[in-house]
Structure formats: C-alpha cells, structure tokens
Amino acid sequence: MKLQEAIAAVIPELVEEWNTVKLPKFEDLYEQSFAELFKDRQTQEKTKIVAPCLDVVFARLIKKYIPNFEINETVGQDYKWNDEGYECKMTFGVGTGWTGNGYTKTSKHILLRFILTENGEITEMFAALVDLDECRSRWTDPTTKSNFSTLAFVKEDADVLDVIVGGMKINKVYIKPIMCAVT
C-alpha cells in the first residue's frame, strides 16, 4: 500500500477516535473539560498538548495499513518507512503554514491540520505529503526572539504538494490548505 492511501484511510479514523474515545479520556486526565483547560489560551498551547496524543494514534493506525511504518523520533524526523525519514507537522491553527522547532528536518514531510471546536471536537481536517527537496519553499530560520521556524508553501510548489485530504487554493503568493469537513 502506498503511504498516500494509508493516510487517506487513517485520517478519518483518527478523527473519529479522537472525538469519541480520546477526547473524553483527555478530559478525565486533566480533570476538566477541554473548553475549561484551554480557555483564553493560544492555538500553540492546544497543539503542544493535543498533537502528541494524536501522533501516537496516527502511528498506530498507519501500522495497520503499512506494518513496517515505524516511529523513529530523532532530531528532524518522526517516522521511518522503507529507510526514508518523515517529519510529521501537525497544527490546529488556521492559515497557510506550519510551525516547527527550528531544527533541521528530513525533506519528506507529512502535513496535518485539524480544526477544533471550543469543546475539543475535530470538525475539519487536512493532510498532505511533500518532499521539500522538490520545493522552492523552505523552513524559515529561527530568530533571536524565537527558536521557532515556519513553513508555508509558495504557489510555485502546487505541483509537488500532494494533498491527500482536503484541497488547496493557490493565492497570489502562497498556497492555502482547504479543509475537509468531518462527516
């Protein structure tokens, strides 16, 4: 099975499992509702806490389809498949880009974006694969004010951005991920 096919199958399963099983357990663990926990907090706070939970579920579900897909968390990569490293970037924010920690990463990326309601339910999803070696776009360098870097895709990268769930809108400069509603 190709990785694209596995991701296409897994993302709806991941969302269903988060919304029906993991979110209630998450609230039990934190002893408060999702809405209470993240009241007045920024998107990156949600990403920092929720993304690792979804990452574990994502990896487990992918292995059902691709048994030799493995977690290989080192600097610059999260997974390994067929001796290729993959970095997984996940965000819950709106916009055109993803945020990273500023470290050099492998060129192959799995890009995930989810929209969460105030109560923590995922209502929209996006997934894509990209090899940055084939792109004009690059991670920005961290600054003296922040160790974070960002990645947004310019319109010239439309042919190499492999959108699996959702779509893309090519704007004047950047490509905007188009979310797919959870049904």
The CA distance from 111 to 78, in Å, is 12
HSE-CB at 156 with a 13 A cutoff on CA atoms is 6
Query: Helix axis angle, 43-65 relative to 3-17, nearest 10°?
Result: 120
Q: For residue 48, what are its two tokens?
A: 């920092």
**What's the rounded mean pLDDT across residues 127-148?**
82
Give me the residue spans of the domains in the chain.
Answer: 3-181
Task: Please name the residues in contact with 74: beta carbons below 8 A apart, sequence gap of 6 or more.
Answer: 85
The yes-or-no verdict on residue 25 having pLDDT over 90 is yes
Q: Look over the chain and give the mean of its residue pLDDT values, rounded to a whole number.
A: 90
Reported pTM: 0.91
Q: Which residues of 82-105 are buried (b: 16+ CB within 10 A; e: fewer)?
A: eeebbbbbbbbbeebbbbbebeeb
